[in-house]
């Protein structure tokens, strides 16, 4: 009864339409832009993006522990001792994002390594007197490298911790810090309901180091070497996933809902659905309530390649923002 009531609430929130402001007040929008390292909030994996980022309570692949480190133990427990994943995102403004994750089952613990990068490419240096470029270029590169440890205490409960080194560099200025992700996962018996809770990107502020030369109109240069600290984008995630039906390997449908509370913006509520056919094809969709630019649902699919030794899945995810445009993600997931 409790599970059915929860699902009814999630569906009612999805149909709220114009009344969604009453379900999710816009408190917190005045915090927008108060945190840095914003690439950490971008979904790197096509599955998570296609599901509207509602993956804190569901996932058994090398991309899932980006959202909740407790899912790392569920991945190796479900599909074996090794999981590998890689994805590429063609982001807005010709920005490239790449993610690589690996999991290994070691003496009852799931050990994971992950690397997430953002590369904006070369950009021209402009000044007041040379607005079309000085002939020099600079780059903007972000990096997050993580080490994850997760353990399944029972078949129903697991926890996980990810320690991350985060670095952001532009021109001759570098900002770096250490962050922590914490998460738990709980399956509600045999009801088909699963709960996930995670706190992501919790840690110390980063202070930029280096200097920037600013050219004055008279040709002289001033050097800036004092910068404000950068606050990490700490986010709280609370989600539920419910297996609406599962008939052996023929058909399976999972509904997902998630509350996301960032420290630099208003709360939002996300919905997702994932349908699996014959353990060969996976179709996904999601919708984000409370994101001003997300008027269209996210979509995606996965194709499981049959007839080979390892379990191999190819993924695609599509998201759209009204002003910035569409984003395409592709990914590869391997489980041994």
Question: What does each C-alpha distance from 111 to 45, 93, 114 come to in angstroms?
Answer: 19, 35, 10
Q: What is the pLDDT of residue 216?
A: 67
Q: What is the pLDDT of residue 292?
A: 83
Residue 302: give the domain boundaries.
Answer: 2-335
Q: What is the pLDDT of residue 166?
A: 97
Q: What is the pLDDT of residue 174?
A: 92
Residue 318 belongs to domain with CATH number: 2.40.160.60
Indicate the helix (H) or strand (E) that contains 7. helix 2-14
Q: How many Cα atoms are found within 13 Å in the side-chain-facing hemisphere of 230?
A: 23
| C-alpha closest to that of 177 among 194, 163, 156, 197 | 163
Q: How many Cα atoms are found within 13 Å in the side-chain-facing hemisphere of 35?
A: 22
Q: What is the pLDDT of residue 71?
A: 96
pLDDT single digits (tens) 3-17 = 444 444 444 444 343
User: If you count DSSP H runs as helices and E runs as strands, how many of each does the chain have, helices first?
Assistant: 4, 17
3-class state of residue 37 by DSSP: coil
Q: Which residues are within 8 A (CB) of 291 and not within 5 positions of it... i.e. 6 or more apart?
A: 268
Q: How far apart are CA 198 and CA 53, in angstroms?
A: 13
Q: How far apart are CA 316 and CA 330, in angstroms?
A: 5
Q: What is the pLDDT of residue 168?
A: 93
Number of domains in the chain: 1
Q: What is the pLDDT of residue 15?
A: 39
Per-residue pLDDT of the chain (336 residues), as tens digits, is 444 444 444 444 443 433 333 344 555 565 677 788 999 999 999 999 999 999 999 988 999 999 999 999 998 887 678 999 999 999 998 899 999 999 999 988 999 999 999 998 887 877 777 788 777 777 789 999 999 999 999 989 999 999 999 999 987 889 999 999 999 999 999 899 999 999 999 999 998 988 777 666 666 666 666 788 999 999 999 999 999 988 876 899 999 999 999 998 889 999 999 999 998 999 999 999 988 888 999 999 999 998 777 889 999 999 999 999 999 999 999 998
Locate 336 and state its tokens: 């041994």
Q: End-to-end distance of the chain based on CA atoms, in angstroms? A: 38
DSSP state for residue 190 in the 8-state scheme: T
pLDDT single digits (tens) 72-83 = 999 888 767 899
Q: How far apart are CA 120 and CA 170, in angstroms?
A: 10
Q: What is the pLDDT of residue 316?
A: 98
Q: How far apart are CA 110 and CA 178, in angstroms?
A: 21
The residue assigned the tokens 């980022």 is 53
HEC sequence for 23-49: HCCCCCHHHCCCCCCHHHHCCCCHHHH
3-class state of residue 47 by DSSP: helix
- Number of Cβ within a 10 Å radius of residue 203: 17
């Amino acid at each position: 009864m409790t599970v059915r009531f929860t699902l009814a609430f999630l569906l009612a929130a999805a149909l709220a339409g114009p009344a969604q402001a009453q379900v999710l007040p816009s408190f917190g929008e005045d915090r927008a832009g108060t945190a840095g390292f914003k690439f950490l909030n971008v979904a790197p994996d096509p599955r998570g993006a296609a599901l509207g980022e509602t993956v804190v309570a569901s996932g058994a692949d090398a991309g899932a522990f980006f959202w909740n480190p407790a899912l790392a133990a569920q991945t190796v427990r479900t599909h074996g001792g090794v999981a590998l994943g890689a994805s590429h995102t063609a982001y807005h403004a010709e920005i490239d994002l790449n993610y690589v994750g690996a999991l290994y089952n070691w003496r009852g613990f799931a050990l994971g390594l992950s690397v997430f990068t953002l590369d904006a490419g070369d950009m021209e240096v402009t000044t007041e007197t040379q607005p079309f470029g000085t002939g020099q270029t600079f780059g903007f590169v972000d990096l997050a490298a993580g080490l994850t440890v997760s353990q399944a205490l029972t078949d129903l409960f697991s926890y996980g911790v990810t320690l991350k080194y985060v670095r952001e560099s532009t021109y001759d200025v570098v900002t770096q810090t250490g962050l922590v992700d914490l998460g738990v996962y709980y399956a509600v018996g045999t009801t088909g309901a699963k709960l996930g809770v995670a706190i992501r990107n919790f840690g110390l502020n980063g202070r930029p180091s280096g200097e920037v030369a600013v050219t004055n109109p008279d040709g002289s240069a001033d050097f800036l070497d004092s910068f404000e600290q950068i606050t990490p984008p700490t986010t709280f995630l609370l989600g539920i996933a419910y297996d609406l039906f599962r008939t052996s390997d023929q058909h399976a449908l999972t509904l997902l809902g998630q509350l996301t509370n960032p420290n630099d913006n208003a709360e939002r509520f996300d919905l997702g659905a994932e349908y699996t056919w014959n353990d060969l094809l996976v179709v996904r969709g999601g919708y984000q309530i409370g994101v001003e630019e997300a008027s269209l649902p996210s979509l995606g699919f996965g194709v499981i390649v049959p007839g080979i030794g390892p379990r191999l899945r190819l993924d695609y995810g599509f998201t759209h923002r009204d002003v910035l445009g569409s984003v395409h993600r592709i990914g590869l997931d391997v489980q041994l």
